[in-house]
Amino acid sequence: MSLGLTGKDLEEAFLGLGSTYRALGEYEDSKRVFQKGIALFPDNKAIQVFYSMTLYNLKEYSAAMEILLSCLTETTVDADIINFKKAITFYSDKLNERF
């Protein structure tokens, strides 16, 4: 990465490195890599999903679920989920609240 990767190669390197750190239990390093990857490639949903796994490992459950639910509603073609997109989006950052 530091030697000048660009474009899709750099995007995949962030995903691979962050995922490797997570698999090795180096969660803070994984989080740092994924955050930088998301900043550089904000439309890459795979990086966001793997980042949410890291957040789960760090016991940041609410943030992890919010990211996953957002990725789900932004990318799904499932008609049932699309029908409830507004509700899923509304609750995505309020999972611990009672109404």
Note the CATH number of domain 7-91: 1.25.40.10
Q: What is the pLDDT of residues 1-20, one digit of tens each?
A: 677 888 899 999 999 999 99
| Token output for 65 | 């679920």
Q: Report the alpha-carbon distance of residue 28 to residue 76 in Å, rounded.
A: 30
pTM: 0.91
Looking at the predicted structure, is the pLDDT value of residue 39 above 80? yes
Query: pLDDT tier at 23 (50, 70, 90 boundaries)?
Result: very high
Half-sphere exposure of 58 (CA within 13 A, CB side): 20
The reported pLDDT for the residue numbered 4 is: 81
Q: What is the pLDDT of residues 47-94, one digit of tens each?
A: 999 999 999 999 999 999 999 999 999 999 999 999 999 999 999 999
Region of residue 76 (phi > 0: left; psi between -120 and 50: alpha; otherwise: beta):
beta
Average pLDDT, integer, range 22-50 = 98
**HEC-encoded secondary structure of 33-95:** HHHHHHHHCCCCHHHHHHHHHHHHHCCCHHHHHHHHHHHHHHHCCCHHHHHCHHHHHHHCCCC
Domain range summary for the chain, segments of one domain joined by +:
7-91
The reported pLDDT for the residue numbered 5 is: 85
